[in-house]
Structure 1
Amino acid sequence: MAELFGVDRTSIVRHIRNIYKSEELDESSTCAKSAQVRMEGQRQIVREIPLYNLDVIISVGYRVNSKNATSFRRWATSVLKQYIIKGYAINQQIKLDRYKELKDVVRLMSRAIGLQEEVSNEEYGGLFNVISDYVYALDTLDHYDYQSLAIQKTTSDASFHATYDNAMEAINALNPNRSLDFNSC
């Protein structure tokens, strides 16, 4: 945190102590102790290193007086303002990535429509199944990104269940001149 906010380590330690002293945050839920073990000469030294969560970093960022901390506060305030005004904040990079992915799907569908007369109905249906699965995967990732992931559809019957026997059958089908059996190894 000292490096992040561009201040001395003692300043960070003082702010953290004051955060816990004023009961702004609860130490037991925002700090974990991690044991660091190393050899110094012939002695084994064990030190407990505190690891702080995001709540502590934000609280310290609002207390520290430095250019880095000021930049942090401006950024954090703008994100909070977006939440207050819009009810949510948008990650612009994710938004651009999703837009590019949507354009790719539209291009793929456009090409598929152009190929409609050149491919069989089965191939055409398969292509649209792939596109549909892709869109479903994008939706699932989007729900994960916004912490709203829920199981939306499942299948009760598996169309294929991999076993040793059918895997060996598939491997042997690839090379009909040679039969493999790993059980005999």
Structure 2
Amino acid sequence: MKTIGKHINNALKKELRGIPVVASFATTANDRKTCQMEYYNLEIVTSVGYRVKSEHDTQFRIWANKILKEHLLEGYTINQQIQIKQLTDLKNTIKFLSHVIEQKELTPNEANGLLQVITDYTYDLNSLDKHVYQQLQIETTTILTHI
């Protein structure tokens, strides 16, 4: 840990002068206690990653270079965890809806409600997908009226 601190100080002195590299956020731990955690930005993480000499850090550099190269060539980076969660959520929703349909005959109101849930979910899923691929555009807005 002492060595990491030395690398951080050197990076701050040499290439990251004047750039904010750390932010403190309150975080809730598994035991439900809140504590302040420091989060470092990408610049300091990669700077330290290139200074440290170990097998683990070599693997970090290989990974970081791969991600940066993909981003530069493709113009975006896909968060695979979000995609996996989207797919899992979609599967769970479909499973739930098919279970509801199998369990009882739906009234017209229930069927309409179910179709509305599917429609809303599909819209949200498409919007999230467009956001991930940086294609999200606001097409229309609604005016809220106070009752």
TM range (shorter): 0.5 to 0.7
Alpha-carbon distance in 1 for matches of 2:23, 2:102 = 59
SS state at 1:19 partner: helix
CA 1:155/1:120 → structure 2, altered by over 3 Å: closer, same or farther? farther
CA contact (8 A) 2:21 2:44 kept: yes
The number of residue pairs the alignment matches comes to 132
- Superposed, 1:19-38 pairs within 5 Å as 19-22=11-14, 24-27=15-18, 29-31=20-22
Runs of 5+ unmatched residues, structure 1: 3-8, 34-49, 162-185
What is the TM-score when the length of structure 1 is the normalising length?
0.51
SS at match of 2:51: coil
Q: Kindly state the Cα deviation for residue 127 of structure 1 after the two structures are TM-superposed.
A: 1.0
| Alpha-carbon distance, 1:149 to partner | 7.5
RMSD: 3.8
Q: CA deviation at 1:69?
A: 1.3
Distance 1:30 1:112, change over 3 A: same
If asked which structure has higher relative contact order (CA below 8 Å, sep 6+), I would say: 2
**TM-score, reference length from structure 2:** 0.62
Question: Whole-Å Cα distance in 2 between the matches of residues 51 and 96 of structure 1?
Answer: 25
Are 1:100 and 2:88 matched, yes or no? Answer: yes
Aligned twin of 1:88: 76
CA contact (8 A) 2:79 2:132 kept: no
Gaps of 5+ in 2: 25-37
How far apart, in 1, do the equivalents of 2:22 and 2:47 lie?
Answer: 13
Q: Within the alignment, does 1:15 sit opposite 2:7 as a pair? A: yes
Cα 1:128–1:108 shift into 2, 3 Å:
farther
Q: Which residue of 2 aligns with 1:60?
A: 48
2:144 pairs with 1:156: yes
User: 1:170 — aligned with what?
Assistant: none
1:159-170 → structure 2 map (5 Å cutoff)? none
Question: What is the percent sequence identity of the aligned residues?
Answer: 40
Measured after TM superposition, the shift of residue 67 of structure 1 is: 1.6
Distance 1:142 1:154 in 2: 22
